Chain A
Amino acid sequence: MQQRVVLSHEKINADLLKNVLKAPFWYWAIMGFLGAIVLVGSVTVAFLLNKGFGLSGTNRPIMWGLLIVDFVFWIGISHAGVMLSAILRLSKAEWRRPATRAAEVLTVFSLMIAALHPVVHAGRAWRIIYWAFPFDFSRGVWVNVRSPLIWDPAAIFTYLTGSTLFVIIALIPDMAVLRDRTSGLKHTVYRALAMGWRGTPRQWKLQIVAGFLLSALLLPVFVSVHSIVSWDFAVMIGIEGYHVTIFAPYFVIGAVLSGVSAVITMMILMKWMFGWGDYIREEHIENLAKLLVIIGTGWFYFFFVEFIFALYSLEPQEIALRELQAFTSPYGYLALVFIFLSYLIPIPMWLVPKVRRNLQIMFWSSLVVNVGMWLERFLIIIPGLARKQVWPFDWSTYHPSIVEIIIVVTAYALVFLLLLTFAKLFPLIPLFDVKEGQTLSDEIVIGKRRVPALRVEE
């Protein structure tokens, strides 16, 4: 049920900018804690680069370990932004308004962190530059266009650039608000970022059209990014469980599931941390949960098809791999945990309206989905490598090293740190979007019932 809340522009500005203009003590405490983790992580990375990638737990044949699992995971999280911002904007869903910027910013930062993973994973990270960017120096060899490991940087760069520009363009009107409410150096900076915005009808019209146009352009890019990441695995014929045609949409829909779950977690945290009860209401979380039921079920269908088709060819190697993944310790236990956390627990729960409107349950269940999805990526990548054909003498078990674990934890801390930094500099909920929502809301009287309504420009 929609909840109509009418707030003045002044109140909206005050509420949504209070952390930007004056941050509470707990904010700095959390920043300090996250900063410490990031510092430890940076030192660890420097240590790794200095001593070599042998410090990680990877070894023949499992040459892709936690860093690659985490890379795929963060690419997945980055799909939240376009899903919510673009698709809900194009479908004119009113309940998108408080979620869009947080989702877009999560996209940008998670993409950045994701892109760092293969760089660190390379061992000699400086060589990545020669290898990924198309310039020719003394090596005399250009990039291999035929490799998905080159398609990856092209896609990630495009998506990162597009998402960042999307955030910047949508921030301009809010920069004007900050320009008008600050003084001194802050005012100078925000005035430069506002670029002379005044709020003319032309500027607003272009802002709205820009939202639609950039959404429509980013949507195909968003689909292509995770598809290309999936093709890093799927094009290979040497590893059981990899060479499957369904990987692209399977990865994309899994990414949407984990990304939107992350946005739910983030929005509930925003509501609790910043006291935005008037802006992030139960109806928003409920609608996100309903969306996730559909996405989750779609994901489960793809997962089911992928597993069935692994067995379809009746090849002993493929069947042996699936037995390893599903029934052999430790992967079997992880698989059980994964399927329960990703689907069998949260999705049936979210069918109940009371559960969808309970923020405590939604917070924990959305977190749990991402734990499950992280395990899913682990189970896709590692077991196939552990049983790489056709050299059984090479078969091994993967034990992640402390260095890898620290880097994975650092990635989480870095994303949260960046998000909180953003929250200090810019509003996490778009001010003009919320205000527009109020302008467009109306009411129709049918008999004794007052029905919430929306003014629509045809």
Chain B
Amino acid sequence: MHSNGHHHIPPVVTVQEFTEDVVARHIAIGPRYRRALMIFGVLFLLGVAAFVAKAATDGIGVDKRASWGYLAAITAYLLTTAGTAPLALIGLRAIKAHWRRPLARLAELYGLVTVLILLLVVALMFFIPSAMNRRTMYFQSDGVTFPGTLGKIPGAPHVYDLVLLLALVAGGIGLWWLSARADKGLIADHQGKPRNTFWGTAKQWKVQQVGLGLLGAAYFITAVGFITFFSIDFAMALAPGWKDAIFAPLQGITGLQGGLATLILSMYVLRRWGHFERYIFMEHFWAASKILLALCLLWFYFSWSAFIIFWYGRQPAEFSVMQLLYFGPYEWFFYGAFLFCFVAPFLTLLWNSVRKSATGPAIAAGMILVGNLFDKIRLYAGTWSVPNDQIADHAMSSVPLVRYPNALDIMMMVGAVSGALFIVLWMGRKAPIVSMWEMSEGLRLRVVRNFLRTRLTVLGKPE
């Protein structure tokens, strides 16, 4: 690593050196990788077993919802961490940020976790009643309970949420497939196997570029849409008196924050234990941490916007909601969320010297992932514990007591996260875990040159 006293110059690597290095690592899998794969696989299976056991003991149904809040929480958690990781990549690709390249394939791999999210959401649907005669985004009523509403929309909310989620899953798989096929061809070459479909013609590259752009935009819109619907149908609509227009956008922001944090932490693991120091350096963490800091502030801003309206209005219905979600049975989860989603990462990332390192942003990212979990628990375990017979009321008649997770809940949560990591690691064997075509493109566009009496990095901007 060069430094002329003024500028930190990252190491210069040729495309050939990079290609040979990454291909060799991809072909020869290490024992640690296999071990991790096995551990996550076993934990996932234990999670499935815990689900079956809980179904047998607590039962499944709309009136059994209260004891399944932690499953909803972990589903929302995966949605707003792994499911939203591709959003960070899509945004960075759109603005052509050169530092996105090492985290591109990671983000695409996390997009595949939407398959697991689909399975979890299908399971959760058994606990959500129809949208008829209660306050939802579908405005359904028999015309008596709520006059002047839309009537009946068949299948609401289940069908529409599922359709949106299927679109998201398709998008996630499509993003990975479209990006990975170029690298799969390269690996096939080095293994002496025939290429499948991707030959690297100019037209194929163009199709890939346009396809990734369009698919990325579609995934972004679908993700935001699904988060909106999911958070309303699976949380807000279950708590009578809770009318909060900013809740869905807040979940979107939490998702962006969680997604970026997931990528930063994964990038750190890849650099540290995957030994990718030559390709992932300080500038990647520095750039990513600035956005993470901004997202922490946005998280606080959106949360505060909701809180100040409820606090100022002092409506009884809103006060009950504030009790449930902030200062009542789940207050320690709220404090945990506030601390780890905002206060701690903000104070950590405030310092430029911390942002200009790999460890600092990784620690902040870890904190955010913990805080996100606390946040989802208070939101979903909290609203799912409201008795189903109150669901159409104007306000909560009483705030339910806190429900702490039992062993089965913990096993399910651990199993869900392990399942997500299993998918990432397993699919990481199908194509290299760093996007070779994207990294090679970046290496070609980066040179180091003398400028008067200093040396500077020169970045090509072909657009």
Contacts and interface: CB of A to CB of B under 8 A. Distances in A.
Instruction: Indicate whether A and B are direct neighbours in the complex (CB within 8 Å).
Output: yes
Name the residue among A223, A227, A309 with the largest chain B CB count within 10 angstroms: A309
Contacts of B306: 245
A94 B8 CA distance: 21
A243 B313 contact: yes
A235 interface: yes
Nearest to A310: B245
B301 A248 contact: yes
B245 A305 contact: yes
A414 B380 CA distance: 52
Interface string A302-331: 100110110111101001000000000000
Contact of B9 (A223, A312, A458): A458
B13 to A, nearest CB: 15
Interface in A1-37: 1-2
Contacts of A243: 309, 313
Contacts of B249: 246, 249, 301-302, 305
B135 A458 contact: no
Interface in A405-458: 442, 444, 446, 449, 451-458
A1 B96 CA distance: 13
A212 B302 CA distance: 24
Interface in A85-99: 90-91, 94
Q: Tell me whether chain B's interface is mostly helix, strand or loop, or mixed.
A: mixed
B462 interface: yes
Interface stretch (B26-34, B141-149, B174-182): B141-149
A313 B224 CA distance: 22
Contacts of A185: none
A237 B315 contact: yes
A52 interface: no
B461 A245 contact: no
Given A245-B246, A246-B249, A458-B283, A314 B461 contact: no
A456 B447 CA distance: 11
Interface string B213-245: 000000000001000100000000000000111
Given A227-B301, A235-B312, A245 B137 contact: no
B398 interface: no
A111 interface: no
A244 B309 contact: yes
A220 B296 CA distance: 12
Nearest to B454: A457
B308 interface: yes
Contacts of A1: 463
B309 A314 contact: no
Contacts of B36: none
Interface in B308-362: 308-310, 312-315
A249 B309 contact: no
B149 A245 contact: no
B249 to A, nearest CB: 6
B460 A246 contact: no
Name the residue among A231, A245, A246, A301 with the largest chain B CB count within 10 angstroms: A245
A234 interface: yes
Contact of A312 (B135, B147, B460): B135
A231 B308 contact: yes
Interface in A66-110: 90-91, 94
B301 A452 contact: no
Contact of A444 (B6, B7, B458): B458
Contacts of B10: 458
Interface string B1-32: 00000111110000000000000000000000
Contact of B95 (A91, A231, A234, A442): A91
Contacts of B312: 231, 235
Interface residues of A, number: 44
Contacts of A457: 6-7, 456
A309 B313 CA distance: 17
A452 B246 contact: no
Nearest to A253: B249
Contacts of B246: 245-246, 248-249
Name the residue among B9, B139, B148, B458 with the largest chain A CB count within 10 angstroms: B458
Name the residue among B9, B95, B312, B444 with the largest chain A CB count within 10 angstroms: B312
Interface in B132-185: 135-137, 139, 141, 146-149
B290 A90 contact: yes
Contacts of B308: 231, 235
Nearest to A151: B308
B458 A453 contact: yes
A220 B300 CA distance: 11
Interface in A310-358: 311-314, 316, 319
Interface in A275-319: 294, 301-302, 305-306, 308-309, 311-314, 316, 319
B309 A312 contact: no
A90 B7 CA distance: 19
Contacts of B127: none
B384 to A, nearest CB: 19
Contacts of A2: 461, 463
Interface string A193-217: 0000000000000000000000000
A243 B245 CA distance: 10
B408 interface: no
A245 B309 contact: yes
A442 B8 contact: no
A456 B458 contact: yes
Given A245-B247, A305-B248, A451 B445 contact: yes
B297 interface: yes
Contacts of B8: 458
B449 to A, nearest CB: 8
Contacts of B463: 1-2
Contact of A456 (B137, B139, B224, B456): B456
Interface string B437-455: 0000000110101010000
Contacts of B447: 444, 453
Contacts of B243: 309, 312-313
Interface string A238-255: 000001111111000000
Contacts of B94: 294
Contacts of B444: 446
A395 to B, nearest CB: 19
B461 A249 contact: no
Contacts of A91: 95
A245 B245 contact: yes
Nearest to A93: B95
A50 to B, nearest CB: 36
Contacts of B460: 444, 446, 451-453
Give the 6 A-B CB pairs with smallest separation, nearest first.
A246-B245, A309-B245, A235-B312, A248-B305, A245-B246, A451-B460
Given A302-B249, A305-B228, 6 more contacts: A231-B308, A245-B309, A249-B249, A314-B141, A453-B461, A455-B456
Interface of A: 1-2, 90-91, 94, 220, 223, 227, 231, 234-235, 237, 243-249, 294, 301-302, 305-306, 308-309, 311-314, 316, 319, 442, 444, 446, 449, 451-458
21 contacts: A2-B463, A237-B313, A243-B313, A245-B245, A246-B246, A247-B305, A249-B246, A306-B245, A308-B245, A312-B137, A312-B139, A313-B243, A314-B135, A314-B146, A314-B149, A449-B462, A454-B459, A455-B457, A456-B456, A456-B457, A458-B8
